Amino acid sequence: MDNTSLKPYLLELNEIQRKAVTTIDGPVLVVAGPGSGKTRVLTYRIAHIIQKGTAPWEILSLTFTNKAAREMKERIAKVVGDRANKVWAGTFHSVFAKILRVEAEKIGYPSNFTIYDTDDSKSLLSNIIREMNLDKNTYNVNAVRSRISSAKSNLIPPKAYKENKELREQDRMAKRPYIADIYGKYMARCKKAGAMDFDDLLYQLYVLLYKNPDNVLEKYQQRFKYILVDEFQDTNHLQYQIVRKLTNYTNSPRNICVVGDDAQSIYAFRGATIENILDFEKDYKPHGIQVFKLEQNYRSTEHIVQAANEVITFNKNQIQKKIWSDKGTGHKIRVIKAMTDNEEGKRVADSIIEQKSRYHLSNKDIAILYRTNSQSRVFEEYLRRHNIIYRVFGGLSFYQRKEIKDLIAYFRLAVNLKDEEALRRIINYPKRAIGKSTVDKVAALANQTGVTMWDALGQIKLSARATKAINGFRVMIDGFYKKAQTGNAYEVASFIAKKSGLIDVLKQDNTIEGMGRLENVNGLLDGIKEFVENDEVLDDETINDKSLGSYIQNIALLTDQDNEENDGDHVTLMSVHAAKGLEFKSVFVVGLEEQLFPSFMSMDSMEGLDEERRLFYVAITRAEQFLTLTYANSRYRFGNMRYNSPSRFLDEIELKHVESSQAIRRSTPASGRSGSGTSARSSVKGNFRSPQKETKLFADPATFKPSPSEQIAEGMEVLHLKFGKGKVLTVDGSPKNRVATIHFEQIDMPKRRLMLKFAKLQIL
């Protein structure tokens, strides 16, 4: 292609990026390695589609954070101007919620449906479990919620769940035989309350498309002529099925482009399935799919990039690619061996001071990444001792603070009188003499008569005092409801904040914390004013919906990353999961020990270890110039001192990329690799671990007879070749991937989680 004829934005791209941007027709898979310019390709592709004559509102771009969608629109705007604002760009949940808001009445929901957050869902489930007189410990609300979430993600409605013998048998073995009934009641109560939880925004959209193939599905198939999906490796089964529905229609060119990196698939615990990206090429091969691999890394120096390449080759199932960098060899990777976790914390803090002094790094250039959030404590202590400013990410977000949730509950009820969880939260806050027993009576009447709790408030017969209090509450909320029908979000919100009495209560607390809570409420109102004053452009028309209901849905769909603020010069402390998508000049990956990273919960299945290795790959590719890997020989875990072996992942890095250090010693080659070419590579490598002792077996392999995995149930005594005798504490997971938590009495770290289809266990 003659560069003189190219659009200016295309000149900013390398050859393979340019092909990925300009190949706009038909299915396209862009395999984007770390730091390879993925976002630039995605945004310029959208700009190029618009430049070629497609209307921006005919383009759907799905991301995993609203922040990513905003940044995408800003970049597109630099090429095509204000038209960028008309692209349908947002998270799966936010885009699907907007479609549902228009179409929800077709599946029996109001257009102003409430979106239940995690706390709302757990509260409703707790109420159902209590009403059914079930033991709250056996029917742990988190376990029940997880089970229901898994069912929705696999497109299993309550009726099908109840008829599924395998699922019911799993519940019976877990001593939770009434999960199906809870699931059915939960869905019915959500619908009666005019509410959807986060899973429903996907599940109910699929239901909507499935039940309305002509008047809804075809409408959006025709509207979205081009569909793009970012971070495709993080999608779950349900998200992929929705995308396939939207692209699967008669004579469709299937203009779908997915961008992702299988080597950065690290969210299996949230339901993400790596098979989506691994199988995408096969799924769309009949439609002429084209694959582009972005292999040049613009972020990191050569030592870091080559170390990442070496590590990921040990995974079996992957899309083959070779990441490379032309940013020079750079600094070698430093490995720190500490005797204790306290020493690890001290040496990391000392290294940060050294890097800041020698290389003039700012605090904001540096990150400490760990496998679990509980590891942050020791690093915080030593950073404080050295007066190094830091920030721990993953704390309580603004919208999860009590005073904010209280006021938003008033907003929700003012918009949707059916919202049971909002009503329960604020019916007696501020206190108005409506106690728990009264609320329970109202809930019981609502359940008996099949009406909403709001309607039950007007029907129930109570004492004169309780009746007066409830009537006062109803008059107040009715006033809020009428105000919400006519006023914009800020007018209504300010009115509610004052008339509800909530601000008066907060003003009575003169402590620093109390004043902070009042500032938070004022901050929320400021945000609502900004929402009202800014125009949101969604498709071919400006959306003038500045109602309180629109605002509530907007904030309900914010992701964790959208809530984080990166202002200020501070060292960043966060989990590796939270660091995905970020980059820093200097990165410390800490706690690299067997049982910690890789996690002990993942070490008994190939899939689990592969995901841990991908997580390590993500960690080291966050670094631009300096990468430091640390481990401790001993640390306190769960109240006990544990002695640790260095992580197997350290073995997988060639010594030529590592600084000379006492942490490195040559010994026997590492064994048990899961990737290709392991024996040849291991024989020429250094090894961070001591020679391994011969594994002690607790039974004769010749006579050991594993029992069928589907027979393993909670409470059973079992035998494992390497771990000995154990008792099954719990069994959970999906039908195809059941996981048992087992206590083995004869080994260190006795509590293990085993994937049953891979674990060989004999029932005793």
391 flagged as catalytic: no
276-298: buried (b, 16+ CB within 10 Å) or exposed (e) per residue? bbeebeeebeeeebbebbbbbbe
Say how far apart CA 681 and CA 81 lie, in whole Å.
52
Is 39 annotated in the active site? yes
Helix (H) / strand (E) containing 449: helix 436-449
CA atoms within 13 A on the CB side of 421: 27
Distance of CA 99 to the CA centre of its chain: 22
Q: How far apart are CA 126 and CA 117, in angstroms?
A: 14
Respond yes or no: is residue 320 known to be catalytic: no
What is the distance between the alpha carbons of residues 39 and 426, in angstroms, rounded to a whole number?
43
Burial 657-691 (b: 16+ CB within 10 A, else e): bbeeeebbeeeebbeebebeebeebbeebbbbbee
What is d(CA 150, CA 739) in angstroms, rounded to the nearest whole number? 14
Task: Single out the residue of 351, 106, 319, 324 nearest to residue 207, CA to CA.
Answer: 106
User: What is the residue whose two structure tokens read 């959006």?
Assistant: 220
Could you tell me how far CA 526 lies from the centroid of its own chain? 28
> Which residue is catalytic, options 38, 98, 517, 753?
38
Per annotation, catalytic residue among 7, 19, 22, 39: 39
Q: How many CB atoms lie within 10 A of CB 15?
A: 9
Establish whether 622 is a catalytic residue: yes
Task: Single out the catalytic residue among 103, 231, 262, 732.
Answer: 231
d(CA 235, CA 248): 18
Measured in residues, the chain has a length of: 764
* Closest CA relative to residue 424, chosen from 219, 415, 434, 582: 434
Select which of 103, 230, 421, 610 is catalytic.
230
Does 694 participate in catalysis according to the annotation? no
* 114: enclosing H helix or E strand: strand 114-116
Cα 288 vs. chain centroid, distance in angstroms? 32
Catalytic residue among 622, 648, 673, 752: 622
Q: Is 264 a catalytic residue?
A: yes
Residue 594 to residue 600: CA distance in whole angstroms: 7
Catalytic entry in 65, 221, 264, 452: 264
Dihedral sign computed on CA atoms, order 578, 581, 586, 589? positive
User: Each residue of 379-394: b (16+ CB within 10 Å) or e?
Assistant: bbebbeeeebebbbbe
Name which of 29, 25, 22 is nearest 44 in CA terms: 22
**Structure tokens of 357?**
């002094």
> Mind telling me the catalytic residues?
38-39, 230-231, 264, 622
